[in-house]
């Protein structure tokens, strides 16, 4: 069952060539074989998974069909799951067992998905490499001496190493797109508000996007079909209809105007990555798209705005962790969490609010105007995800600022709320490289079409790691 996709698996399940229980047992075996080496899962919920698989088989037997019925997947351990330990990879929540399921989890369960367990992350989603986990870093399956990217570090690894068919993540400043491109998988950061945040441990409320990893673009669309939609429990989910994401996915890119932002192709970008993206753009041209240079002039300020807005919201969102109603007290926070809480507290504090927070809110408006203007002349924008290829575990450990700068190409989308789809484009030094496709709010259907077109010509995802 190498390189099985959700699409393939769904077909096999419907044809009764395989049962969900068999599929689940298969993946659980792989998990148990490789998890110690890769440290992708923090919790394996075998019993619950098999129960879910059994009930999925029953539904399949009754002729039921949903895009994820019977499909084993993993959840970033920032998704609150009733009765199953949820830690945010932090010692504070080391023993926390939630009393409720979040909306996205309920939707996945109702669709008959099988949840294999909870995956590792940078604690509280604070990080870009997975090294801030309180339970040890996850390793990149393509080279275990290297980082898989973060903060959703475990999830892309489960998909890349065939421990699961899909895995959920969150993207607040690139935490899906970056690890997706480091692990040779497809990662979607949906439009802010496309998927409910209710029941996902909040990092930065106005930036958190609830997305997921899959092997292929079409798989990714099938998953979004289940989780997208407005939620009465989340007041920031607009009542925008959910289109059929897979129906026209093979539409192609003829006549598509692809914007290339010049501010993303700057000196800090590894020239090999630059070449790869340029080659990808040539592919799109051949397929009938038009490549147009655009400008997102305030790009260089995005990181500063991000580290003000995000840390401010983090400092407030983490205030509830006081050890009284659940979890352990605040002395159990790791260093990175402490740094961000203090930074956020500082930028909101009396005397500093105007210079930092208010200023950041204003520049955020300018960043939004950048994208609005660009999308008047192009349909989508393509850019690199990371300025560098994955780095070795430990390389950036002592320099928090250097770690923050790995987000320079990803945070802009979060500040503005636009969706971004990261897809694999190739390998450098045997390490995965990806590119990201942005579109206006709620343009996921188009992003999938664009991603699908490239993937059909260049199926990089098929290259499995040697485990």
Partner 1 sequence: MKYTPVIGLEVHVELKTKSKMFCECSADYFGKEPNSHTCPTCLGLPGALPVPNKTAIDWCVMIAQSLNCEINEFSKFDRKNYFYPDLPKGYQISQYDLPFGKNGEVSLSSGKTIGITRVHMEEDTGKLTHQEMGGVKTSLIDYNRSGVPLVEIVTEPDFNNAKDVVAYLQMLRTIVRYLDVSNADMEKGDMRLEPNISLTTDVSKLPPYKVEVKNINSFKFVDKAIVFELKRQEEILESGQIPPQETRGWNEIKNATFSQRVKEEANDYRYFPEPDIPPIKFTKEQISNLKSKVPELQVEKITRFVKQFSLSSYDAELLTRERALADYFEQTVAQGIEKNISAKQIANTIINKKIDHTTISPEKLVSNIAESSQIKSLDESELQTIIDKVLQDNQKAVKDYKSGKESVIMFLVGQCMKAIGRKVDVNAVKEHLVQSLK
Partner 2 sequence: MKINISHVAKLANLPLLDSEKQKFETQLSSILDYIAKLNEVDTSNVKDTSQVTGLENILREDKPLPSLSQKDALFQAKTTHNGFFAVKGIFENE
What are the residues binding partner 2 (CB under 8 A)?
Answer: 96-97, 99-100, 192-193, 206, 232, 235-236, 238, 298, 301, 304-305, 307-308, 315, 319, 322-327, 330-331, 333, 338-339, 341-343, 345-347, 349, 355-356, 358-366, 368, 400-401, 404, 415-417
The DSSP result for 246-315, as a single string, is TTTTT---TT-EEEEEGGGSSTTS-HHHHHHHHHHHHHHHHTT-EEEEE--TTGGGHHHHHHHHHHHHHH
CB of residue 109 to partner 2, shortest distance in Å: 19
Measure the CA–CA gap between 69 and 71, rounded to whole angstroms. 6
Measure the CA–CA gap between 292 and 288, rounded to whole angstroms. 13
When binding is defined by CB under 8 A, the residue of 319, 397, 402, 457 that contacts partner 1 is: 319
Cα–Cα distance list, 268 to 271, 387, 389 (Å): 9, 6, 12
Query: Which residue number, 222 or 309, has a Cβ lying nearer to partner 1?
Result: 309
Query: Which residue number, 417 or 426, has a Cβ lying nearer to partner 1?
Result: 417
Q: Which stretch binds partner 1 (CB under 8 A): 175-183, 213-221, 341-349, 395-403?
A: 341-349
Q: From 437, 464, 465, select the one nearest 452 (Cα to Cα).
A: 437
CB of residue 190 to partner 1, shortest distance in Å: 17
CB of residue 299 to partner 2, shortest distance in Å: 12
* Interaction between residue 197 and partner 1 (CB under 8 A): yes
Measure the CA–CA gap between 309 and 204, rounded to whole angstroms. 8
Query: Which residues, in sequence order, are CB contacts of 266 under 8 Å at separation 6+?
Result: none
40 binds, among partner 1, partner 2, none (CB under 5 to 8 A by kind): none
E-strand ranges in 125-247 read 166-171, 186-189, 209-214
400 binds, among partner 1, partner 2, none (CB under 5 to 8 A by kind): partner 2
* Interaction between residue 354 and partner 1 (CB under 8 A): no
Measure the CA–CA gap between 425 and 457, rounded to whole angstroms. 11
88 binds, among partner 1, partner 2, none (CB under 5 to 8 A by kind): partner 1
Cα–Cα distance list, 128 to 109, 181, 288, 402, 432 (Å): 29, 12, 35, 10, 16
* Interaction between residue 236 and partner 1 (CB under 8 A): yes
Query: Which residue number, 138 or 311, has a Cβ lying nearer to partner 2?
Result: 311
* Interaction between residue 285 and partner 1 (CB under 8 A): no
Cβ atoms of 127 and 402 closer than 8 Å: no
When binding is defined by CB under 8 A, the residue of 6, 13, 147, 200 that contacts partner 1 is: 200
Measure the CA–CA gap between 303 and 314, rounded to whole angstroms. 16
Q: Find the radius of gyration of the CA atoms of the chain.
A: 20
* Interaction between residue 349 and partner 1 (CB under 8 A): yes
464 binds, among partner 2, partner 1, none (CB under 5 to 8 A by kind): none
Torsion from C-alpha of 257, 261, 262, 266, nearest 10 degrees: -140
Query: Which residues, in sequence order, are CB contacts of 282 under 8 Å at separation 6+?
Result: none
Query: Which residues, in sequence order, are CB contacts of 109 under 8 Å at separation 6+?
Result: 52, 101, 115
CB of residue 115 to partner 1, shortest distance in Å: 16
201 binds, among partner 1, partner 2, none (CB under 5 to 8 A by kind): partner 1
Query: Which residue number, 80 or 431, has a Cβ lying nearer to partner 2?
Result: 80
Among this protein's residues, is 76 annotated catalytic?
Answer: yes
* Interaction between residue 235 and partner 1 (CB under 8 A): yes
Catalytic residue, candidates 19, 20, 76, 181: 76
Query: Which residue number, 66 or 237, has a Cβ lying nearer to partner 2?
Result: 237
Instruction: For residue 233, give the 3-state DSSP assignment.
Output: coil
Q: Which helix (H) or strand (E) holds 389?
A: none
* Interaction between residue 322 and partner 1 (CB under 8 A): yes
Q: For tokens 């979060």, name the residue.
A: 414
The DSSP result for 296-316, as a single string, is -TTGGGHHHHHHHHHHHHHHH
**Cα(first)–Cα(last) distance of the chain, in Å?**
15
* Interaction between residue 342 and partner 1 (CB under 8 A): no
Q: Please give the size of the binding site for partner 1, defined by CB under 8 A.
A: 41
* Interaction between residue 417 and partner 1 (CB under 8 A): no
Query: Which residue number, 99 or 466, has a Cβ lying nearer to partner 2?
Result: 99
Site string for partner 1, 74-113 (x = CB under 8 A): -----xx-----x-x----x--x-xxx-x-----------
Catalytic residues: 76, 151, 175
For binding to partner 1 (CB under 8 A), which residues are involved? 79-80, 86, 88, 93, 96, 98-100, 102, 197-202, 205-206, 232-236, 312-313, 315-316, 318-322, 324-326, 345, 348-350, 353, 357
């Amino acid at each position: 069952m190498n390189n099985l996709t959700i699409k393939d698996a769904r077909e096999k399940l419907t044809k009764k060539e395989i049962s969900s229980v068999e599929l689940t047992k298969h993946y659980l075996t792989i998990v148990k074989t490789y998890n110690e080496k890769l440290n992708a899962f923090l919790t394996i919920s075998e019993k619950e998974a098999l129960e879910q698989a059994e009930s999925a088989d029953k539904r399949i037997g009754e002729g039921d069909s949903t895009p994820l019925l019977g499909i084993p997947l993993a959840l970033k351990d920032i998704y609150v799951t009733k009765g199953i330990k949820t830690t945010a990879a932090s010692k504070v929540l080391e023993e926390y067992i939630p009393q409720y399921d979040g909306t996205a989890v309920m939707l996945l369960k109702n669709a008959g998905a099988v949840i294999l367990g909870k995956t590792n992350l940078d604690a509280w989603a604070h990080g870009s490499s997975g090294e801030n986990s309180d339970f040890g870093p996850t390793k990149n399956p393509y080279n275990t001496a290297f980082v898989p990217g973060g903060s959703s570090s475990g999830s892309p690894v489960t998909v890349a190493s065939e421990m699961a068919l899909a895995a959920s993540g969150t993207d607040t400043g690139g935490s899906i797109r970056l690890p997706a491109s480091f692990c040779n998988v497809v990662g979607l950061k949906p439009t802010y508000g496309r998927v409910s945040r209710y029941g996902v441990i909040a990092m930065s409320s106005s930036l958190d996007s609830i997305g997921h990893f899959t092997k292929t673009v079409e798989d990714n669309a099938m998953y979004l079909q289940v989780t997208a939609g407005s939620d009465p429990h989340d007041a920031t989910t607009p009542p925008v209809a959910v289109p059929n994401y897979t129906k026209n996915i093979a539409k192609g890119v003829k006549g598509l105007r692809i914007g290339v932002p010049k501010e993303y192709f700057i000196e800090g970008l590894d020239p090999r990555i630059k070449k790869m993206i340029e080659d990808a753009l040539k592919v799109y041209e051949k397929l009938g798209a038009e490549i147009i240079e655009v400008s997102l002039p305030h790009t260089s300020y995005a990181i500063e705005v991000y580290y003000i807005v995000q840390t401010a919201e983090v400092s407030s969102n983490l205030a509830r962790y006081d050890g009284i109603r659940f979890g352990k007290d605040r002395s159990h926070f790791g260093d990175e969490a402490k740094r961000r809480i203090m930074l956020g507290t500082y930028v909101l504090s009396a005397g500093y609010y105007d210079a930092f927070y208010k200023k950041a809110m204003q520049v955020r408006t300018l960043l939004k105007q950048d994208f609005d203007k660009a999308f008047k002349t192009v349909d989508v924008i393509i850019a690199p995800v990371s300025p560098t290829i994955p780095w070795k575990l430990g390389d950036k450990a002592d320099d928090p600022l250097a770690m923050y700068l790995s987000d320079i190409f990803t945070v802009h989308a979060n500040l503005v709320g636009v969706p971004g789809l990261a897809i694999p484009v190739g390998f450098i030094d045997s390490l995965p490289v990806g590119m990201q496709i942005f579109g206006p709010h709620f343009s996921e259907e188009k992003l999938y079409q664009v991603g699908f077109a490239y993937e059909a010509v260049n199926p990089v995802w098929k290259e499995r790691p040697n485990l």
